[in-house]
């Protein structure tokens, strides 16, 4: 049972809630914050009989709040005060909290040296961490993570698309990957680089030895896809061993797009058809999303020149399963 309101606004609050329920626009999550406001009025202004502007200080952003948190706390009060204003019961001004201004993230451009070191660390880091106690989840991470990050790098897939892949989505003969679940279009296809296809074949055989009955390419416990935090957690453990620059797994997608565009420009290809192909392979809803990478490319290629590490394309991916062939698992 809900606690009763105690301030002089109690009856108006009850009527406000009843109206919102009748309009099918009331959420029970609003009740608690409306009740906090009622407690504030009751404790600070016990003798008051009318709402005043100073009482609305409760809606001001707090030092511990960001814009979204403040807005969540005060939205029920905004709506309640609007209800009173519409009925001529108050003239106070509604103080609104605004959502946080998003910070524009500049993608990290991976140098060839960084990529080489990163994938080398991928092959040994989890093996060194887990060799003393190889539980099934640890062994699966040891097999999955080096391949997962290489797949992001070599295809430009979204992290969610790679996590949701099923074995039946991949043609292990031709290297065609059917992406069924995507942020952009409903379905699209990716064609694997020969070295990535070879690696996936090795991986599929290796993980089949420890998890034979599975549907997902990168299965978590219970043959379910990994959660979104999975790759981020492991990436953050590994990347500081390579560089102190800020980056994230999603930047492999940016790297894939800008590297392809840079190479097409370098070799004088006509870009309109190439961008359409890139747009489809990356699962964009329209080519305008792909043009964003085109405009981003000059900035990233400047960084490449500073590092003196302009990529010549994808090199052969190292074999991460040599230990498995030697029975070290």
Read off the pLDDT of residues 246-257 as tens digits, 9 standing for 90 and up.
888 988 988 888
H helical segments located in 51-193: 67-86, 112-130, 136-155, 159-163
- Residue found under tokens 């329209």: 286
How far apart, in whole angstroms, are the C-alpha atoms of residue 317 and residue 272? 30
Read off the pLDDT of residues 291-305 as tens digits, 9 standing for 90 and up.
666 555 555 455 544
112-325 CATH choice from 3.20.20.120, 1.10.443.10, 3.40.1380.20, 3.40.120.10: 1.10.443.10
Do 61 and 70 meet the contact criterion of CB atoms below 8 Å apart?
Answer: yes
Mean of all residue pLDDT scores within the chain: 78
Read off the pLDDT of residues 174-191 as tens digits, 9 standing for 90 and up.
999 998 766 655 577 888
Q: Where are the domains of the chain?
A: 10-86, 112-325
Would you say the pTM of this structure is higher than 0.75?
A: no
Do 301 and 310 meet the contact criterion of CB atoms below 8 Å apart?
Answer: yes
Angle at 68 between CA 65 and CA 74, to 5 degrees: 80
């Amino acid at each position: 049972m809900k606690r009763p309101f105690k301030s002089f606004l109690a009856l108006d609050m009850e009527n406000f809630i009843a109206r919102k329920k009748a309009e099918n626009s009331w959420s029970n999550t609003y009740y608690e914050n409306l009740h906090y406001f009622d407690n504030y009025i009751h404790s600070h202004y016990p003798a008051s009989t009318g709402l005043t502007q100073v009482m609305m200080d409760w809606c001001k952003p707090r030092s511990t709040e960001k814009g979204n948190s403040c807005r969540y706390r005060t939205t029920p009060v905004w709506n309640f005060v609007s209800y009173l204003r519409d009925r001529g019961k108050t003239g106070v001004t509604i103080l609104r909290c605004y959502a946080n201004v998003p910070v524009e993230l500049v993608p990290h451009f991976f140098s060839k040296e960084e990529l080489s070191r990163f994938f080398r660390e991928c092959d040994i880091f989890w093996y060194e961490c887990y060799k003393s106690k190889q539980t099934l989840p640890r062994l699966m991470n040891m097999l999955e993570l080096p391949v997962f990050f290489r797949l992001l790098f070599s295809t430009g897939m979204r992290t969610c698309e790679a996590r949701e892949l099923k074995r039946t989505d991949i043609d292990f003969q031709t290297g065609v990957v059917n992406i069924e679940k995507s942020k952009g279009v409903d379905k699209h296809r990716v064609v694997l680089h020969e070295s990535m296809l070879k690696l996936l074949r090795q991986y599929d055989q290796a993980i089949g030895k420890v998890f034979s009955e599975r549907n997902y390419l990168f299965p978590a416990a219970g043959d379910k896809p990994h959660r979104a935090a999975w790759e981020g957690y492991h990436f953050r453990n590994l990347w500081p061993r390579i560089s102190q620059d800020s980056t994230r797994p999603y930047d492999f997608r940016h790297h894939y797009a800008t590297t392809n565009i840079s190479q097409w420009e370098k070799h004088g290809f006509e870009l309109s058809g190439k961008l359409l192909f890139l747009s489809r392979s990356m699962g964009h809803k329209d080519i305008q999303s792909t043009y964003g990478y085109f405009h981003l490319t000059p900035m990233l290629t400047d960084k490449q020149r500073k590092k003196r590490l302009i990529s010549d394309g994808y090199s052969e991916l190292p074999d991460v399963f040599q230990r498995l062939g030697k029975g070290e698992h």
